[in-house]
């Protein structure tokens, strides 16, 4: 009798669709997490997998029922070049995973990359929503400052040396162009970019961001060094002093602005790297998983 009951239970269990067993709040959603400059595909990670751009967020969103990809592209290059690479990768992934449409979510330059895909590469028909995170929709003044410090005659030599270094570090065979990357972040370039890459009707655009309270070297050992430069540049270009170490807060807003995460009481804000939990750098200062679940749920609901 017990044997028959056990067999019956197993038969019932096996008859339940797999998606039903692991369904979550994001069940059936297709999401592409697109990295910014110096980024990489988290399938492999960097340094033998020791460093992850999204700090495990792709796995977490999968545990909530979503299908997630973290496509890689040139770590240093122009927006059109990276957009073409990302589009190819995402299209292949969508076909393999039965996704008719995808929620595109891009961080930093990745936000401009996905906007370019939708506006200029005919990807709007495959896009459900566009969400940008700490992206530079009005430019990153620090890029203007750095490029201005490099004489025009020196830029080709600097580009060759730095691009070669990028190739040696990433070893993925993709083309690298550090100067093209830098120019794509400048205030003047992004102003033209916005004119040439308008939002597509029928697609909802959302933006999220963060800022540092001040240049705290303990919590923000890298971004504390760039925060003052971005602060000064932001004031000069009329974007305000608030920033995440790389991008002024006002530059992070595009479409429906959804705000910044609530950091823990002891945190001095959330910087540009912590915004994606790069190398697990943000999870000690705010609820990273809860924040990204909210981002994904908002995209699903289309609020």
Number of domains making up the chain: 1
* Tokens 């690298």 -> residue: 176
| Dihedral sign computed on CA atoms, order 106, 267, 263, 247 | negative
- CATH code (residue 92): 3.40.50.1820
Say which residue, 22 or 204, is predicted with more confidence: 204
Question: Token pair for residue 213?
Answer: 């309270």
What burial class does residue 111 get, using C-beta atoms within 10 Å of its C-beta: 0-12 exposed, 13-18 middle, 19+ buried?
buried
Count CA within 13 A, CB hemisphere, residue 195.
Answer: 5
* Tokens 């303990």 -> residue: 218
E-strand stretches of 67-192: 67-69, 102-107, 127-133
In which band, very low, low, confident or very high, does the pLDDT at 207 lie, cut at 50, 70 and 90?
very high
Q: Is the pTM of this model over 0.85?
A: yes
In which band, very low, low, confident or very high, does the pLDDT at 10 lie, cut at 50, 70 and 90?
very low
Average pLDDT over residues 220-238: 98
In a domain, 254, yes or no: yes
In a domain, 266, yes or no: yes
Average pLDDT over residues 114-139: 98
Q: Does 130 score more than 90 pLDDT?
A: yes
So what's the pLDDT on residue 164? 93
For helices 109-120 and 79-96, give the axis angle rounded to 10 degrees. Answer: 70
Q: Does 251 score more than 70 pLDDT?
A: yes
In a domain, 175, yes or no: yes
So what's the pLDDT on residue 4? 44
In which band, very low, low, confident or very high, does the pLDDT at 303 lie, cut at 50, 70 and 90?
confident
So what's the pLDDT on residue 127? 98
In which band, very low, low, confident or very high, does the pLDDT at 47 lie, cut at 50, 70 and 90?
confident
So what's the pLDDT on residue 226? 98
Question: Token pair for residue 115?
Answer: 């906007």
Give the residue numbers spanning the domain of 181: 30-301
Nearest to 231 by CA among 255, 249, 209, 256: 249
In which band, very low, low, confident or very high, does the pLDDT at 48 lie, cut at 50, 70 and 90?
confident
For 139-193, write each residue's pLDDT tens digit. Answer: 999 999 999 999 899 999 989 999 999 999 898 999 999 999 999 999 999 999 9
In a domain, 24, yes or no: no
Hey, is 206 helix, strand or coil?
Answer: strand
In a domain, 21, yes or no: no
Q: Does 5 score more than 80 pLDDT?
A: no
């Amino acid at each position: 009798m017990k044997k028959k009951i056990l067999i019956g239970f197993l038969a019932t269990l096996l008859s339940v669709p797999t998606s039903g067993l692991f369904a979550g709040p994001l069940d059936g959603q297709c999401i592409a997490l697109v990295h910014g400059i110096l980024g990489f595909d988290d399938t492999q990670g960097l340094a033998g997998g020791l460093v992850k751009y999204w700090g495990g967020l792709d796995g977490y969103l999968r545990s909530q029922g979503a299908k997630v990809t973290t496509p890689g592209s040139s770590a240093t290059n122009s927006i059109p070049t990276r957009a073409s690479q990302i589009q190819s990768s995402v299209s292949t992934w969508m076909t393999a995973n039965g996704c008719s449409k995808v929620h595109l979510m891009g961080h930093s330059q990745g936000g401009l990359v996905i906007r370019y895909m939708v506006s200029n590469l005919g990807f709007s028909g495959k896009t459900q929503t566009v969400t940008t995170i700490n992206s530079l929709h009005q430019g990153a003044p620090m890029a203007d400052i750095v490029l201005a410090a490099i004489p025009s005659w020196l830029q080709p030599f600097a580009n060759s040396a730095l691009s070669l270094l990028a190739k040696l570090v990433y070893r993925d065979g993709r083309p690298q162009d550090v100067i093209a990357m830098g120019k794509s972040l400048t205030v003047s370039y992004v102003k033209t970019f916005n004119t040439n890459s308008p939002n597509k009707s029928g697609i909802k655009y959302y933006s999220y961001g963060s800022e540092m309270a001040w240049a705290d070297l303990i919590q923000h050992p890298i971004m504390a060094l760039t925060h003052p430069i971005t602060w000064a540049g932001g004031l000069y270009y009329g974007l305000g002093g608030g920033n995440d170490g790389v991008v002024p807060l006002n530059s992070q807003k595009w479409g429906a602005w959804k705000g910044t995460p609530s950091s823990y009481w002891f945190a001095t804000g959330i910087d540009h790297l912590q915004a994606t939990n790069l190398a697990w750098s943000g999870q000690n200062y705010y609820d990273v998983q809860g924040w990204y679940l909210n981002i994904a749920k908002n995209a699903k609901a289309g609020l």
